[in-house]
Amino acid sequence: MKKFLTMIVLSGTLVLTGHQVSASEITPINDIIASPADFDGKKVKLKGVASDITRIPLLYLKSYVLKDDSGEITILTEAELPKSGEEIIIKAKVESFAIIRGESLGMMVTELKRYPALIGI
């Protein structure tokens, strides 16, 4: 009973503080990979498992690969790096260095915000 009450309080807190993300808001990673020019300059929400954690202190570069059922994409971040194998949901901005004849060159996906990954989303 105590565990059930804790879950209700936690769920209510997340809803009230705006930290809940619905499944319909999540963009499949393959959609971005297949058509990066369509996402240029846009903010998206992504869900997946983090891997390939990279930190290069001299260049102030931190990145990780986010993988979902449709594909994987490299994410740049200024936040703390997630743990390898951790499931996360992020809000990110997709940007391209250039778009030539509809093709994106130098696509970057930068994490803007991280949400707790809730079961069932």
- Take residue 53 and report the two structure tokens written for it: 């954690």
User: What pLDDT is attached to residue 24?
Assistant: 86
Q: 20 by DSSP, 3-state: which? A: coil
Distance, in Å, from the CA atom of 29 to the CA atom of 66, rounded to the nearest integer, reads 8
Task: Give the residue ranges of DSSP H helices in the chain.
Answer: 2-16, 29-34, 36-39
Per-residue CA distances from 116 to 10, 59, 76 (Å): 11, 28, 18
Torsion of CA 86, 37, 33, 73, to 10 degrees: -30
* CATH, range 22-115: 2.40.50.140
Per-residue CA distances from 29 to 14, 42, 55, 103, 121 (Å): 25, 14, 22, 17, 15
User: How would you write the pLDDT of the chain (121 residues) with one tens digit per residue?
Assistant: 444 444 444 444 444 445 577 888 899 999 999 999 999 999 999 999 999 999 988 778 899 999 999 999 999 999 999 999 999 999 999 999 988 887 788 899 999 999 876 655 5
The alpha carbon of residue 85 and the mean position of all alpha carbons in its chain are separated, in whole angstroms, by 14
Residue extents of the structural domains in the chain: 22-115
